[in-house]
Chains A and B, each alone.
Chain A
Amino acid sequence: MKGPAIATLAVLAVAGLGFGASEVLVPSKATTAVENAANDRLRAPGDPYNLLGGTTRCTYLNGYGALITVELELVAASDINPFRPAYSAQEIEALHDRKVKKLPVLKDTLRALMVSSADTLTSLPPNERVAVEARLWHFRWEDSKGIPDRIFMSAEKSKLLTAKANPAALAVVVEEQDQ
């Protein structure tokens, strides 16, 4: 009876060490700093984004890197309510135009966020990645043609830090998927 119990304890201890090691690799203090910086950047005065479903979240995935996730509304639009039962076709078109124009701005913001996160996460190994997933909110009545529901960007940390001073190089380094 002792043999299996000792073996189980040994496995648990090794697993615990592994978990502890990953915690130490990128401490929660660093991920919290990334989250706060992202929240501040996305709420910056001017034309801020509406954050939805909580705040920006940064998670370290052992062996992959840091994943930053956020859900936001590209342009703040009022919802439909009894006092505002519908939007006219012109208003819907104007909103769509504003969103289309703001989409590249958001992508630039996300790239800059990746660079600043790579700087902040000093303990993240250079060969691991920094990734950002932004989910964009659309109302049913909106015209969402040409605007993705999800933007996913990722890049190796070392490449991000190398290209951070050059926006053109940064756009090449960052792999992007729109869905």
Chain B
Amino acid sequence: MSVCERIEEVRDYAFGELPEGKRGAVEEHVAGCAQCSAELDGLQLTTAALRILPDQEIPQRIAFVSDKVFAPSGFSKWFGAGWLNFASACVVAAGLVGAAFAYRPVVTIAAPAPVVTAAKMDVTAQMNEAVTQAVDQAVARIRAEDARVMDAALAASELKHEKQHRELLAAMDENLTYLQKRYSSVTMLASSDAMRFGGGQ
């Protein structure tokens, strides 16, 4: 089947790229061209489907681990060469020695224990609350997104069925017109033949 020569204009129209002055002519053409009408409906369906996709930002830059920007500086190389580990070990050792001299075992163990437990429980409760809130927000966001996607899908489906319904009605109307014309011809020809050849009353 041949392609209508105005199909490109219809595509520009569907994507809103046609100048305002030409839109009327294309709408008029589409009303009378089944092929362009089907193309326009298809494009509108596609753009409706595209609208339901979430917008995502494009990364500003893609870097590789081998890039120079990730190469360690001289200080990092010196710092990472084992000095940090050694210094940390020294600080921990000094702390242990100081603690052994400064505190007697009985006092240090008995008194602070309840305070530490209460603080831990407080932190745990806050964390639980924060996690619950975050989960609730995430669930609500996902549900809203699902609802939006479902609405868009339903709208696209309705559009498609409306188009099918419209096409069916147009075909039925055309068939009815054809049958009326055919019936009219058959009856008139039969009547005419009957008058000519004496088959009638």
Contacts and interface: CB of A to CB of B under 8 A. Distances in A.
Contacts of B178: 52, 79, 137, 139
B196 A141 contact: no
A80 interface: yes
Contact of B34 (A39, A55, A141): A141
Contacts of B182: 50, 52
Contacts of A79: 174-175, 178-179
A179 to B, nearest CB: 15
A80 B189 contact: no
Chain B contact residues: helix, strand, loop or mixed? helix
Chain A contact residues: helix, strand, loop or mixed? mixed
B179 A39 contact: no
Q: A89, A93, A141 — which one has the most chain B CB atoms within 10 A of its CB?
A: A141
Contacts of B175: 79-81
A146 B192 CA distance: 34
Contact of B2 (A55, A140, A143): A143
A92 B170 CA distance: 18
A143 B185 contact: no
B189 A55 contact: yes
Interface residues of B, number: 17
B192 A53 contact: no
Contact of B170 (A89, A93, A140, A145): A140
Nearest to A71: B181
A95 to B, nearest CB: 11
Interface in A13-56: 35-36, 39, 43, 50-55
A52 B171 contact: no
A55 B171 contact: no
Contacts of A51: 185, 189
B192 A36 contact: yes
A96 B175 CA distance: 19
A139 B174 CA distance: 7
15 contacts: A39-B189, A52-B184, A53-B181, A54-B184, A55-B189, A79-B174, A79-B175, A79-B178, A80-B171, A80-B175, A81-B175, A137-B178, A140-B170, A141-B171, A143-B1
Interface of B: 1-2, 34, 170-171, 174-175, 178-179, 181-182, 184-185, 188-189, 192, 196
Interface of A: 35-36, 39, 43, 50-55, 71, 79-81, 89, 92-93, 96, 137, 139-141, 143, 145
Given A50-B182, A71-B181, A137-B178, 12 more contacts: A39-B192, A50-B185, A51-B189, A53-B184, A79-B174, A79-B179, A80-B171, A89-B1, A140-B34, A140-B170, A140-B174, A141-B171
